[in-house]
Structures are given as C-alpha cells and as structure tokens.
Structure 1
C-alpha cells in the first residue's frame, strides 16, 4: 500500500519536474535530443532540486492524506448503487486516506528518504541513454537499410 501510494504520488511530480521528458525523442532527431537528455540528467542529479522536490512532494502527500474522501467516494457509490439497484450506505464525512490506511502516514517519510535516490538513478540513466543515442541511431539506420519496407495489410 505504501509503495503504491508513493509511486502514484511521485510520478506526476517527476514528470512535471522534467519538461524535457515530455518531449518525443525520435531516432532521426539531431543531437539536440542528446543534449535534452543530458540537461534532464543534470537536473535530476542536482541534490538541491532533489531535496526541494522531496520536501514539496512530502507536504503534498500529507495534505492529500487528510483530505475528506466522502465528496469523491459518495457520489461514485451512489451512482454504482443506482446502476446495480443495490442499497448503498453513506460514507462517513470524516473518512480520509490516513483513517483508512493508518500506515499511509509513513508515505511522506518514505518520499523524503527515497525520492532523491530515485531521481539520482533516473538522472544517471538519462545520461547513459544520451551517450547511447548515436549507436541507437546507427542501429536504426542499419535496420532500415537491411529490412525492405513491407506493405501494411488492411484487415
């Protein structure tokens, strides 16, 4: 449960923190894609940025854990009840993720502990991919030359 919550909470912030990751990278692109990966790797490897993001995400996680769930869950439960014809009991208005899963309170500490290391690893991987891009482009060119283009059948 903790890992799932951590992953769900971390994914959007990691993507938002690295705008270059939202760009499509094609094998035919000029070396700009390599530079973009290098910049992303540098940004993700920056200890100050890592700590800022970890702290921000931990704060957001604490806020999310204490948000009332009834305004979200109750209408969904009512709609499901109407669709199935089964009676639905009302959701306690004080229900929060923290009350449902008391261990969820550890998520913030886990984020602060693990997000910087995760970012460091992703930054290192993006640097490695950047260094591999010329070889990948060469391999793609060799494959295009070696494999004749086949017509695509309509089904």
Structure 2
C-alpha cells in the first residue's frame, strides 16, 4: 500500500508543475525557444527560485495530495481489473467502496504537510541546477560540435 501512496503522490508532483509553468508562459506570451537553451534555463531558474512561485506550487501540491488521499480507491481498482491490469498475474484485490488512501495508510496523513514544507527547498535546488546547466551549455555545444567533426560520417 505504501508503494501505491508514493506512486500516486509522485505522479502528482511530476505533473503539477507543468500547468503552473504553462500559465507563466501564457502570461509572457513568448514560448520558450529550444534554439536558445540559455533562455530556457534562466527562465526556469528564475521561476523555481522565486519564493512566491515556490509557495504557490507548494500549496497547490499540498491541496492535490489532500484530494488524492481522500479519493475512493474502489473505482480505481475496478478500472484496473477492467483493462486487464494485474500484478504478478493476479487481479487487483477487492477494495471496500469507502476505502481511501488515507484510510488504508493513515501514516500518509503527514505527506501533504511534508510536501508543503520540502517543495520550496527542492524547487530552489532545481533552480540552481538550471543555472548550472545554463553555464555549461556553451561547453556542451562545443563538445557536440567536436564530436561531429571527429565522429564517423555516414557518407
């Protein structure tokens, strides 16, 4: 059960920043250009290191995790069985119609608070990594060009 809780929360953490970042892009009305990686990383670094953005994302993910903890599990298990999903060749177990992640894993109650507490630090680290990538990009481009020159040709 712990794996199920962690999987659900991990999925929400991975998926949640995309709408927030997309909202920022829409406000700027300038999509990030892949041809200019420095712009991508500097913009990302700014957003990830911005305390207000961190607070908003942490609150949003805390709310999403609260919702996930209270979501009924029975429909999910039924859907898993309907699509032929099985674990080690066995059908998903029958689940009480009122069961939720919170009721099946009471220790998961602390997850929303932990997300809110730790996400700003994680985003700050991601911002620092984006800044480092921006600084490394010219050297990586040079290395790629040299590899093209010394690598085998398809001619």
TM over 0.5: yes
Tell me the secondary structure at the aligned position of residue 18 of structure 1: helix
| Corresponding residue number in structure 1 for 2:137 | 133
| Corresponding residue number in structure 2 for 1:59 | 63
> Which one has the largest radius of gyration?
1
Q: In the aligned structure 2, how far is the partner of 1:73 from the partner of 1:104? A: 19
Measured after TM superposition, the shift of residue 7 of structure 1 is: 2.8
Measured after TM superposition, the shift of residue 10 of structure 1 is: 1.1
**2:15 maps to 1:12:** yes
Higher relative contact order at CA 8 Å, sep ≥6: structure 1 or structure 2? 1
Measured after TM superposition, the shift of residue 24 of structure 1 is: 8.5
The alignment's TM-score, normalised by the length of structure 1, stands at 0.77
Gaps of 5+ in 2: 26-31
Quickly say closer, same or farther: Cα 1:79–1:50, change in 2 above 3 A.
Answer: closer
Q: In the aligned structure 1, how far is the partner of 2:134 from the partner of 2:91? A: 57
Q: Which runs of 4+ in 1 moved over 2 A?
A: 1-9, 14-20, 74-81, 86-91
**2:54 maps to 1:50:** yes
CA RMSD in angstroms comes to: 2.9
**2:106 maps to 1:102:** yes
The alignment's TM-score, normalised by the length of structure 2, stands at 0.77
Gaps of 5+ in 1: none
- Report how many residues are paired: 141
Deviates more, 1:63-72 or 1:7-16: 7-16
Q: 1:70 aligns with which of 53, 69, 74?
A: 74
Measured after TM superposition, the shift of residue 89 of structure 1 is: 7.0
